[in-house]
Structures are given as structure tokens and as C-alpha cells.
């Protein structure tokens, strides 16, 4: 089985993890733990979420440094089998990985989006209707539905109305740049680019530091592109 970037893995002990990269060790999948149950470790420095009937911490790396350091140290004690030791890196480099035998379920962005787009529009709530209509716009670029996926809270079903982002996955470098070229030119009443000031305010509201990069005539965050106003989930 191939573990694509941005797939979500739930583990047998309740962690929700995002897959990072498209190549992985034979015995494990490289991830970032995203939501971690509070039964073994807990930190008031990290945000809380109630997901899958459990109290969770969301592992954000931009929180107060000492609190994060202590939480990571506690994580290595509580979940030592989720740490991967790479023979290509020194011992100070920390990798998270889910052992194959610890996987409970895998949520695939492409499969999830295909299921969503097969739904009758009138059966969807406002958030999912926005996703549906946004994807309809994206495929006007000439991409096929199978070139796209959706991840994070939309894929998992624990999004917050009027707050959660729409996190789209694009499969293939050529497809990505084709879509970016389309987004440079497309006009839509519900779509606009944030100004640099709005992006900076967005990052400040999340207590993140992100640099901006120029793409064509647009300035966008270096790590991702988002549309509309949201506070994230």
C-alpha cells in the first residue's frame, strides 16, 4: 500500500496523524501527530479539541517554547514506538512515524473527495457545500477530479462551520502549476486573494510565523495557499 502525503492515519491508541512525504521506511509511515489523546500526556499550552468522543491536545509547534519542549519530552516517554531513528541523521533529529502494526485506519484525501463530490448538493451542510462548489471551480482548470483530494478536518468530519479551512491536495507537480496558473486568472464572486496585511493578521491570530513568496503577480504564504477568511481547525 502507498501512503500518500496528507493522508490521515488514526492509530490503535487514538492518535490522529498526518502523513508527510511519499516515501517511507518499510516498517513505518512518517507523520506528524496532529491530535493526541490526553489520557497519557496532556498540556494546557496546547489547544484542546473533542474528537472521536475523546479529549485531545492538538500538537501545534508555534506555541510557547518551554511548554512545547516539555510536551515533546513527555511524548517520547509515553509513545516511544512513534519515534523513528534514521541511520542517515544524527540522534538530535526527531522523526515521528506510525509503525504499520499500530495503524487503525487510513483516510485518503482523493477517496474522501470523490465520496463528497458524489453527494447530492442539497444533502450537504454549508461547509461541505463550500468545498463542493470550490472543487467544481478548480476542475474548470482542466484538472480531473482524481487529481485532487481534501484533507484535515473536512476529510475527518470534525470541521467547524464558518471556521475550518478548505485544505485541498493536488496530485502531481504539473497539475499543481496548471492549477496555480488557472487561479491567477480566474474570476469568481466568492473568491479573492488576501492582501499581505490580511495574511500577516491571519498568522498573528494563529500565533504563527510564516514568510510570503511571490507567485506570478500574487504574494502568498510560503507553505500553503488559502482562500477566504477562517480561523482553522
pLDDT tens for each residue of 97-152: 999 999 999 999 999 999 999 999 999 999 999 999 999 999 999 999 999 999 98
Whether residues 84 and 36 fall in one domain: yes
Whether residues 29 and 90 fall in one domain: yes
Cell numbers found for residue 23: 516515501
pTM: 0.80
Assign 134 to helix, strand or coil. Answer: helix
Query: Cα(143)–Cα(13) distance, rounded to whole angstroms?
Result: 38
Whether residues 129 and 90 fall in one domain: no
- Is residue 81 domain-resident? yes
- Residue in 51, 70, 156 with CA at minimum distance from that of residue 112: 156
Dihedral sign (CA 114, 152, 187, 132): positive
Whether residues 60 and 83 fall in one domain: yes
Asked if 206 contacts 163 with a C-beta cutoff of 8 angstroms, the reply is no
Whether residues 63 and 121 fall in one domain: no
- Show which of 54, 87, 107 is a domain's final residue: 107
- Is residue 3 domain-resident? no
Asked if 175 contacts 31 with a C-beta cutoff of 8 angstroms, the reply is no
- Mean per-residue pLDDT, 197-218: 61
- Show which of 81, 107, 133 is a domain's final residue: 107
pLDDT digits (tens, 9 = 90+) for 53-79: 999 999 998 888 999 999 999 999 999
- Domain containing 82 equals 8-107
Amino acid at each position: 500500500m502507498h501512503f500518500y502525503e496528507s493522508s490521515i492515519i488514526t492509530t490503535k491508541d487514538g492518535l490522529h496523524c498526518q502523513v508527510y512525504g511519499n516515501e517511507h521506511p518499510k516498517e513505518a509511515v512518517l507523520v506528524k501527530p496532529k491530535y493526541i489523546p490526553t489520557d497519557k500526556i496532556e498540556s494546557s499550552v496546547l489547544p484542546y479539541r473533542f474528537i472521536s468522543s475523546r479529549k485531545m491536545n492538538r500538537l501545534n509547534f508555534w506555541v510557547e517554547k518551554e511548554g512545547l519542549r516539555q510536551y515533546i519530552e513527555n511524548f517520547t516517554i509515553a509513545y516511544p514506538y512513534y519515534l523513528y531513528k534514521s541511520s542517515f541523521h544524527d540522534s538530535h533529529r526527531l522523526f515521528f512515524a506510525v509503525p504499520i502494526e499500530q495503524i487503525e485506519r487510513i483516510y485518503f484525501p482523493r477517496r474522501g473527495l470523490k465520496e463528497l463530490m458524489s453527494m447530492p448538493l442539497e444533502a450537504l451542510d454549508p461547509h461541505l457545500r463550500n468545498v463542493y462548489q470550490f472543487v467544481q471551480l478548480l476542475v474548470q482548470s482542466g484538472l480531473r477530479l482524481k487529481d485532487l483530494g481534501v484533507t484535515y478536518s473536512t476529510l475527518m468530519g470534525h470541521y467547524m462551520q464558518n471556521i475550518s479551512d478548505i485544505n485541498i491536495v493536488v496530485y502531481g507537480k504539473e497539475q499543481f502549476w496548471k492549477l496555480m496558473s488557472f487561479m491567477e486568472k480566474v474570476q469568481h464572486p466568492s473568491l479573492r486573494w488576501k492582501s499581505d496585511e490580511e495574511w500577516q493578521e491571519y498568522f498573528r491570530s494563529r500565533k504563527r510565523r510564516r514568510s510570503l513568496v511571490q507567485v506570478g503577480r500574487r504574494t502568498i504564504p510560503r507553505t500553503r495557499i488559502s482562500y477566504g477568511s477562517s480561523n482553522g481547525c
